[in-house]
A and B are shown apart, each in its own frame.
Chain A
């Protein structure tokens, strides 16, 4: 991935631009619709799904509330198993650590297992600055990387591409990154998969160092777990001599038994499969096989900031399944790039402000508003993150961070609402005025009135751009009650 999210505009304008792309909207509606249906089928067949959700949330909450103790335990068990443990406060430190390990081994390339943590810290770009090529080996990540593109989904980062586009990317770009695409490559899915297999196999066999993330880190056994579908992860985790895993500090589960819950909920929630094809686990170094040097970089990068937020900390339960993206009607229309982060969709709308803090930049502050609060995300979340409530809490924090300055149009309107609704008289006056307006405007049709408002700046124009305003009644409900006593 060589694109960057840095400098992205705030959500409303990025979304408006994304909505212009009809091809993108068709690809997204199709793809999210298919995954939604698959997920619903395999979730419905689990009798105790609600119990699994609650159990998953409880396991994660236990870890988050005692994170200091679990991190020490994880470090000790990893070290005992022969892994080297590194601590990274932020993206800079983490990238420096990984780059230094590569430099120590004098490698100029690494193969990568799909990893949100390494995308979050911009590892590939940082390694490139040190002359090290980081090759993505997950098929969709490969498409994004070869297309000089940005990911738009957590699980299926090339969801915005269809197979014609993918064929073109392979034909144009594979040669510059290694083995070229086969002659006469078609858009047939099997042919595309085979082209990527040939291209990647060469990289797997050559690489001396691999970089991964981890879906889970088991504290008591010092075991890291990667869950994947394509087998590229298994290749990366077993073939190279050196393995470096960048792991967010919230990825801990206390014990091996706890995996039982998540290995049931994660595949069903993410790919809509009962079980994922490849689950790799490793504890440090094994003398007989696999990497002979194992590093684990424990990454904070804003997670302790999120942990300090009493309402928002539940976001750290997230197991990156992306069910909330697929269920979200906003995401389905805009795609992931509009969120300006490797974490898009509903979870991104809360994780980014929680990890980066609000009141700092306009783009981050716009994310909690990128939702109609319809609640579909909460319904599908396998660790029961109440995303709508966290969104409302973060909106409150955004507003609070701007208090004290001159209020914007919304601030002024809300201050007015506080007065209007705070006692009966002001509200009665507002309703009375509405009734007068209704009587005065009676002969005009509603659509004439609101079309005229289209170009008015602010909320009225934003409403009237595509919608008529209802014709005002001649008499409010309370005026009618007063006049008739409720008798028609």
Chain B
């Protein structure tokens, strides 16, 4: 599952996931019928409007051993919210289809560490990097240390700790526009913490949060780049001699 936002806005993340999984010997398919997990609708209160997306999700991903996604938030939506949507819809067969598909959805770091059993994915990334654990990865999925285990094994990386890392960046889906003043106040504290680390890159497992944080950093010309975890793990560039 590449996710709708990566499909349209961040194709490099999708490419990185593909390259990484292929390098690790996984047979990867991209079902063209995939659209969106439905989270934006559910979290804004429009559950009826999420039903078609959830239905499409179960169709697109039926029959796979594992559905891997570079987003803690979308994985959380599939694992925790699809059941709710299906039950409310009362649609015959939808709840069964969800029960079949959603337990096989994995956030990328979960799949690498828990299913493939690897922490060293053979990556190299010669840059100073700090990691922001996004809320849904951290608290809804409980991915814990997995992304950091993966990052620590990357060659030539200079991984520095982000102060107050577990604090929400303020994105929150439609919260970012419905309560934009609070959202950007939270974002400001996050980017100040990022700046204090002196990192070149801010890495996270969700491009939606990075779009918000990165959008603020770009507006304020902080010079820090955002990058998805998958892109660092897929990278094999070595330190210039």
Contact = CB atoms under 8 A, between A and B. Distances in A.
Given A334-B182, A475-B11, A481 B30 contact: yes
A476 B46 CA distance: 27
Interface-central residue, B32, B45, B47, B52, by most chain A CB under 10 Å: B45
Interface residues of B, number: 73
A329 B185 CA distance: 10
Contacts of A16: 181
22 contacts: A12-B178, A15-B181, A372-B135, A374-B135, A398-B45, A410-B46, A410-B174, A414-B41, A417-B46, A418-B53, A421-B56, A422-B35, A427-B4, A447-B219, A451-B219, A459-B177, A462-B177, A463-B180, A469-B215, A476-B7, A478-B32, A486-B22
A119 B84 CA distance: 36
B182 A330 contact: yes
B8 interface: yes
Interface-central residue, A420, A424, A475, by most chain B CB under 10 Å: A424
A465 interface: yes
A461 B49 CA distance: 24
A459 to B, nearest CB: 4
Nearest to A431: B8
A209 B46 CA distance: 51
Interface in B25-73: 28, 30, 32-36, 38, 40-53, 55-56, 60
B7 A478 contact: yes
A412 to B, nearest CB: 11
A373 B135 contact: yes
Nearest to B140: A375
B113 interface: no
Interface bin, chain A: 35 or more
Contacts of B214: 468, 470
B168 A329 contact: yes
B62 to A, nearest CB: 14
B18 A486 contact: yes
A362 interface: no
Contacts of A480: 11, 14-15
Contacts of B215: 450, 463, 466-470
B167 interface: yes
Nearest to A410: B44
Contacts, number: 214
Contact of B219 (A25, A414, A467): A467
Nearest to A422: B52
Interface of A: 11-12, 15-16, 19, 25, 329-330, 333-334, 368-376, 378-379, 388, 392, 394-400, 410-411, 414-415, 417-424, 427-428, 430-431, 434, 446-447, 450-451, 459, 462-463, 465-470, 472-473, 475-478, 480-481, 486, 488
Nearest to A480: B11
Contacts of A400: 45
Given A374-B168, A466-B184, A11 B53 contact: no
Nearest to A25: B185
A417 B178 contact: no
A478 B4 contact: no
Contacts of A431: 7-8
B175 A477 contact: no
Contact of A422 (B55, B178, B180, B187): B55
Contact of A395 (B2, B12, B14, B45): B45
Interface-central residue, B11, B30, B138, B173, by most chain A CB under 10 Å: B11
A421 B53 contact: yes
B149 interface: no
Interface in B148-185: 166-168, 170-185
B171 A372 contact: yes
Nearest to B2: A477
A338 to B, nearest CB: 9
